[in-house]
Amino acid sequence: MLRLRGRSPIPFDLYDPITPLPSIYATRAREELNEVVTEVSSHLERFRLSISSLPHITCPTDDIFLLAFLRYEKYDHANAMKRLENFCAFRSLPGEGKPEWFQYDSLDRDLYKRIGELRYLIPLGSTFDGTSCVLIKAERLNFDVVTFHEVMCTSQIWNDVMLLDPRVQIGGFIFLMDMAGVKLRELQRMSDQQVSEFGCKYFQEALPLRAKKNDLFQSSRRI
């Protein structure tokens, strides 16, 4: 079981919009993201108006999607718009990003079963103060079963799930990768410089997910 700062984690579950968010998120949104509950609606209205004036941007305009960008940039509209533009460009323009990572309909129907059976991505829940945690067991990534491209595509699906979760928008996330048992051959198949560069670009300039910690380690016990 994951323990951070001596506090037990909250078990993972998918976001349920009907269930009110725990009070810790309201506190963190106010203190860390400059969120004022009574002003959120006006921020969303202004942001939608700005988007409508830019014909080169095509994206969802529902509250939860737009809040991901506003919250990431602490309600600085200019920065939120820049990140949204980068997000749309990366996912749609070959010269700017990797649109092929997001063509989910083109994936084999049995891919999700194969990915699920590898059990390499493990949601660990969240810390006591509301930061989500995800563990990657790199040893379980079998590139004879799935291709690196398929792994990148399915990873974006998971990123999209987190992007639309208010708990992750507010609390951020911790990314852990366990490298124990990874063989050199598999490591080489994961080491694509271009993919790494594009992945970093997407996370740093486009994806509105706050990474609180990224850590590679080697575990000494079975998880």
> What does the domain layout of the chain look like in residue ranges?
25-217
The pLDDT, as a whole number, for residue 9 is 65
As a whole number of angstroms, the distance between CA 47 and CA 45 comes to 5
What per-residue confidence (pLDDT) applies to 182?
86
pLDDT of residue 2: 44
Query: What pLDDT does 184 receive?
Result: 82
Region 180-190: mean pLDDT is 81
Q: What is the pLDDT at residue 194?
A: 86
Amino acid letter, 77: H
In the CATH scheme, what architecture does the domain 25-217 have? Answer: 3-Layer(aba) Sandwich (3.40)
Strand partners, 138: none
Percentages helix, strand, coil for the chain, rounded to the nearest 5? 50, 15, 35
Query: Does 100 score more than 90 pLDDT?
Result: yes
Q: What percent of the chain has pLDDT over 70?
A: 94
pLDDT, position 183: 82
pTM here is 0.89
The pLDDT, as a whole number, for residue 1 is 39
Phi, psi (rounded to 5 degrees) for 35: -85, 125
* pLDDT higher than threshold 50 for residue 23: yes
- Reported as a single tens digit per residue, the pLDDT across 106-162 is 888 889 899 989 999 999 999 989 999 999 999 999 888 998 888 999 999 999 999
For residue 4, pLDDT beyond 80:
no
pLDDT score of 17: 87
pLDDT of residue 223 exceeding 60:
no
Ranked by mean pLDDT, which of 59-63, 180-184, 215-219 comes out on top?
59-63
pLDDT, position 212: 93
Torsion of CA 87, 88, 89, 93, to 10 degrees: 130
Q: What is the per-residue pLDDT for 220?
A: 57
The reported pLDDT for the residue numbered 221 is 54
Q: Which residue has the higher pLDDT, 51 or 14?
A: 51
Evaluate if residue 199 carries a pLDDT over 60. Answer: yes
Binned at pLDDT 50, 70 and 90, residue 60 comes out as very high
Angstrom distance (rounded) from CA 90 to CA 97:
4
